[in-house]
């Protein structure tokens, strides 16, 4: 591996006028390499976006490991009626009582996403966020909005998944119901356990303590949203590496059972979703002369990544810190993989 070539790939991100900085940590055969530029470096704290779903997932999986929860447990038996009654209707049939813990973890519930799916009036909450309109989304508002958006398919439909924030908001509520503790309190215990000293929940720290979140419209403010969800996370590439390696070493769920979580359903190209984990894949016909191995882990909407590449015995974490252009970080990762 030539680190100068990898560094050049990262530096080329400067060509995008909206990218103010980038940082990546690569662990290859247990050797750590850092690459960065601009307003981000290996010590910078940044918003991880949907990588937080891995944190929620491992907290649930720990309870499954301890047999305090089971993947086949029904949502209707885990939360009060106001969370699930009338939540999922597909072609005139109410499937709300058929949703399981596994469906929520694997994004295969068929439930809509209150952030990215269109409301009946054609509006999308995510569009407002990208334009700098911060919004509070308490659980009552989430449930109300979800009932106005059509479900995507019956729960557990073979091969199907629909990416959505709602599934994981419900998982947060299940954690609270089973443990009596909020997602941020449970998450902080994991961070302390792993020595993730620079990782925190966004609503608990000042905006000056992390690099501003950027979109093509400028700086994004999500303080109201973070206060309402309690699960938005700020971290560093190094801390994410600690978490990612702990996951694959079996810290949260038995190592010998991790493969059972990798039952992939198509979610949107080029992603698939397993049980609490995501896969990025490029079919061979898109790259016939240079195979791109699958990446397993999770990414976030701001160009944040935390992936294990089994075929390379490599881990990569980091961010380009730019919302609304998800292709950018994966174009970069593909170039990096071609050099290692």
Residues 103-130 have pLDDT tens digits of 999 999 999 999 999 999 999 999 988 8
- Give the N- to C-terminal CA distance of the chain in Å, as an integer: 5
pLDDT at residue 284, rounded to an integer: 58
Q: For the segment 146-178, what is each residue's pLDDT rounded down to a tens digit?
A: 999 999 999 999 999 999 999 999 999 999 999
Residue 288 confidence (pLDDT): 54
Determine the CATH number of domain 3-51+196-337: 3.40.710.10
| Predicted pLDDT of residue 286 | 56
Angle between helices 165-179 and 52-65 (to 10 degrees): 40
Which residues on neighbouring strands pair with residue 300, listed in sequence order? 304
Q: Rg (Cα) of the chain, in Å, rounded?
A: 19
* pLDDT for residue 292: 85
> What is this structure's pTM?
0.95
Pseudo-torsion of CA 108, 112, 116, 119, nearest 10°?
Answer: 170
Q: Residue 256: its pLDDT value, please?
A: 97
Beta-carbon contacts of 234 under 8 Å, excluding residues fewer than 6 positions away, are 45, 46, 47, 48, 199, 200, 201, 202, 205, 209, 210
d(CA 152, CA 6): 41
pLDDT tens track, the chain, 340 positions: 689 999 999 999 999 999 999 999 999 998 999 999 999 999 999 999 999 999 999 999 999 999 999 999 999 999 999 999 999 999 999 999 999 999 999 999 999 999 999 999 999 999 988 888 899 999 999 999 999 999 999 999 999 999 999 999 999 999 999 999 999 999 999 999 999 999 999 999 999 999 999 998 899 999 999 999 999 999 999 999 999 999 999 999 999 999 999 999 999 888 999 999 999 988 755 565 678 899 999 999 999 999 999 999 999 999 999 998 888 999 999 999 988 8
Same fold flag, 3-51+196-337 and 54-179: yes
CATH architecture, range 54-179: 3-Layer(aba) Sandwich (3.40)
Closest among 274, 254, 255 to 264, alpha carbons compared:
274
Domain boundaries, the chain: 3-51+196-337, 54-179
Distance CA(112)–CA(165), nearest Å, equals 8
């Amino acid at each position: 591996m030539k680190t100068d070539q990898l560094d050049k790939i990262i530096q080329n991100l400067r060509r995008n006028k909206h990218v103010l900085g980038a940082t990546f940590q690569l662990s290859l055969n247990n050797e750590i390499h850092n690459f960065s530029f601009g307003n981000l470096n290996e010590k910078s704290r940044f918003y991880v976006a949907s990588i937080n779903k891995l944190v929620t997932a491992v907290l649930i999986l720990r309870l499954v490991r301890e047999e305090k929860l089971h993947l086949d447990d029904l949502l209707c038996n885990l939360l009060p009626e106001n969370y699930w009654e009338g939540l999922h209707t597909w072609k005139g049939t109410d499937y709300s009582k058929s949703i399981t813990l596994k469906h929520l973890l694997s994004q295969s519930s068929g439930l809509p996403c209150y952030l990215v799916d269109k409301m009946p009036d054609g509006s999308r909450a995510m569009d407002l966020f990208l334009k700098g309109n911060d919004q509070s989304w308490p659980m009552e508002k989430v449930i109300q909005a979800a009932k106005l958006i059509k479900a995507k398919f019956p729960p557990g439909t073979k091969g199907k998944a629909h990416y959505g924030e709602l599934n994981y908001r419900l998982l947060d509520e299940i954690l609270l119901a089973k443990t009596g503790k909020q997602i941020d309190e449970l998450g902080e215990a994991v961070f302390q356990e792993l020595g993730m000293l620079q990782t925190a929940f966004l609503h608990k720290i000042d905006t000056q303590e992390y690099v501003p979140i950027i979109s093509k419209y400028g700086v994004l403010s999500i303080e109201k949203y973070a206060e309402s969800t309690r699960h938005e996370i700020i971290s560093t590439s190094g801390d994410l590496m600690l978490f990612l390696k702990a996951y694959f070493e079996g810290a949260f769920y038995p190592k010998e059972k991790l493969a059972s979580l990798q039952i992939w359903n198509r979610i949107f190209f080029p992603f698939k979703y397993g049980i609490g984990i995501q896969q990025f894949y490029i079919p061979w016909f898109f790259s016939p002369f240079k195979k791109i191995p699958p990446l397993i882990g999770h990414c976030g909407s701001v160009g944040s990544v935390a992936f294990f590449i089994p075929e390379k015995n490599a881990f990569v974490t980091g961010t380009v810190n730019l919302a609304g252009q998800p292709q950018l970080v994966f174009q970069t990762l593909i170039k990096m993989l071609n050099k290692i």
